[in-house]
Chains A and B, each alone.
Chain A
Amino acid sequence: MTEVGTGVRQRCRMTRRAALGLFALPFASVRPVSAATKPPRIACLDDGLAETLLLLGVKPVAIADRKVWEDWVVEPALPPEVADIGTLLEPNLEFLEQLKPDLILSIPYLDGIKPLLERVAPVTTIGIYIENGQPYRNAVEATRKLAGLVGREAEGEALIEATETSLAKVRRELAPFAARPLYVVSFMDPRNVRVYGRMSMFQDVFDRIGIRNAWTAATNYWGFSTVGIDSLATADDARLAYLEPLPAGAGGTLTESPVWSAMPFVRDRSIMRLPPVLMFGALPSAARFARVLAETMTAHG
Chain B
Amino acid sequence: MNAGAVRQRAWYEREARFIPAHHQPAGLIDLALMRGIESHRLLRGTGLFYQDILGGRQFISAEQFLRLIDNVRQLRGGDDCSFLFGQQLLPGHYGHASHALRHAQDLQQALDRLVLLRRRLSPLLTPRVRVDDRYVYLHWFDSCGAGAREVFLMEACMTAVTAMCRWLSGGPLPWEYQLRHSQPDYIEQYWVHLSEAVRFGCPQNVMRLPCEYLFKPWPHASLTVGQVAEQTGLDELAAADEMAPSLLEALFDYIHKHVRQPLGLERLAEAQGMSVATLKRKLKHHDTHFLQQLDQVRTYVALDLYLSKGFTSDEVATYLNFNDKANFRRSFKRWTGLLPSEVPGRLA
A binds B: no
Binding site for A on B (CB under 8 A): none
Binding site for B on A (CB under 8 A): none
